[in-house]
Amino acid sequence: MNFTIFAPVKKITLILFALLLLSGACQRATVQKFDGVALGTTFHIAYVGDPDPALPSQVDSVLRQINSTFSIFDTNSLISRVNAGQDPDLSDDFLRVLRTALDITSKTGGAFDCTVQPLVELWGFGRGNQKQIVPQTTLDSVRQFIGSRLIHLQDGRLVKDDPRVKLDFNAIAKGFAVDKVAELLVAKGHKDCLVEIGGEIVAHGSKGKRPWRVGIQTPTATADGPVESQRSFELHDRAVATSGNYRNFFEKDGKRYTHILNPATGCPEETNLLSVTVVAPDCTTADAYATAFMVLGLERALQIVKGDEEIEACFIYDEGGKLKVESTLP
């Protein structure tokens, strides 16, 4: 499977202990696994039981459907047609992601916003764009049509208050893809499974008598720094996603500009947070919260986490040149 959707992956990859250590940890269970390239990144899938030869092609079909729905680089995709001002019928997948996006927008005070596509293009974080500093006058003009307040669902159709509004689900759709693939595995009877796409993960059941286990990557000083584990934890019938600012950025006159854009200012967010890992009931939610928390910063994000029994988070941040960790994970 080799096709792309979205821009090069913006999420920080979680170290998959569940997949890297299968041979030594699964003596009591037969674990099947396969991997590939899709959605502009790699994926890994593992499940306990007998081989299912039809599964790879079925996963391929799910991912291609997601591509045709959410890829902003495919001019025939559903989201591209919406962005072009057309009024197509919205699929169940599109509506499901949009409703989750709007819910997270509300819960984070707008820190997550699916209308940031014009800003992504301006700063050069889309595919093939030249990264650049955007003048304030340009930002002021574009910010007029940025904001989820400008879109509404009416009888299953999307209504824009401003026709210039464009959607971008890059910060949530990979999590949704993980959920969809995991739902496929469970529906086919593979109730003990782990799905990872570009660092976003869903784990169901266990690998025999042992739990699935994942690790959080230690932030690096450079974009191509070594992959090392900050910590590991068990994952059971939950999802996890990580967002960070140390892999996708550019520097100008000694200042770093990251791909984490603040919808309110239109600028890359300046924060001492390096990465945020969110554990939630589903990966769509975890994905969106991880991005929102990078925008909100440690204190405000922690308030949300501590007020919501369904999510947990691990924050890695810089304090005087030293890595610090604040976590609600067990």
Among 14, 114, 8, which Cα is nearest to 314's?
14
Cα–Cα distance list, 82 to 6, 163, 286 (Å)? 16, 10, 25
Query: Given a cut of 80, is residue 27 above it in pLDDT?
Result: no
Three-state secondary structure readout of 279-313: EECCHHHHHHHHHHHHHHCHHHHHHHHHCCCCCEE
The domain in which residue 189 lies consists of 1-236
Ramachandran bin of 320, using left for φ above 0, alpha for ψ from -120 to 50, beta for the remaining angles: left
User: Can you tell me which residue has the tokens 């039981």?
Assistant: 49
Say if pTM beats, i.e. exceeds, 0.75: yes
More confident: 164 or 29: 164
Task: Kindly tell me if the per-residue pLDDT of 82 is higher than 80.
Answer: yes
Residue 236 has pLDDT above 80, yes or no: yes
Question: What is the dihedral sign for C-alpha 195, 200, 203, 209?
Answer: positive
23: confidence class by pLDDT, cuts 50, 70, 90: very low
Q: What is the pLDDT confidence band of residue 40, given thresholds at 50, 70 and 90?
A: confident
188 in a domain, yes or no?
Answer: yes
pLDDT at res. 220: 54
Instruction: Say if residue 25's pLDDT is above 70.
Output: no
Does the pLDDT at position 225 exceed 50? Answer: no
Question: Residue 253 has what pLDDT?
Answer: 62
Q: Check whether 9 has a pLDDT greater than 60.
A: no
Residue 322 lies in a domain: no
The answer to whether residue 133 sits within a structural domain is yes
In the chain, how many domains are there? Answer: 1
∠ CA 115-119-120, nearest 5°, is 95
pLDDT tens digits along 114-154: 999 999 888 887 766 678 888 999 999 999 999 999 999 99
Give the Cα separation of 7 and 93 in Å (integer). Answer: 20
Whether 8 is covered by a domain: the verdict is: yes
CA distance 64 to 59: 9
Q: What is the mean pLDDT of the chain?
A: 87
pLDDT at 129: 67
Classify residue 280: in a domain, yes or no. Answer: no
Residue range 264-291: average pLDDT?
Answer: 93
Q: Assess if residue 251 is contained within a domain.
A: no
CATH number at residue 41: 3.10.520.10
Within a domain: 246: no
Least confident segment among 247-251, 269-273, 324-328: 247-251
pLDDT at 172 over 60: yes
Share of the chain above pLDDT 90, in %: 68
Could you tell me the pLDDT band of residue 272, with boundaries at 50, 70 and 90?
confident
123 domain residue, yes or no: yes
pLDDT at res. 124: 81
What was the pLDDT predicted at 131? 80
Q: Under a CB-based contact definition with an 8 Å cutoff, are residues 4 and 43 in contact?
A: no
* Predicted pLDDT of residue 11: 44
81 vs 267, more confident: 81
* pLDDT for residue 251: 66
- Give the residue-averaged pLDDT of 37-53: 94
Does residue 201 surpass a pLDDT of 80?
A: yes
Question: Is the CB of residue 169 less than 8 Å from the CB of residue 101?
Answer: yes
Q: Per mean pLDDT, which range of 9-18, 27-36, 202-211 is the poorest?
A: 9-18
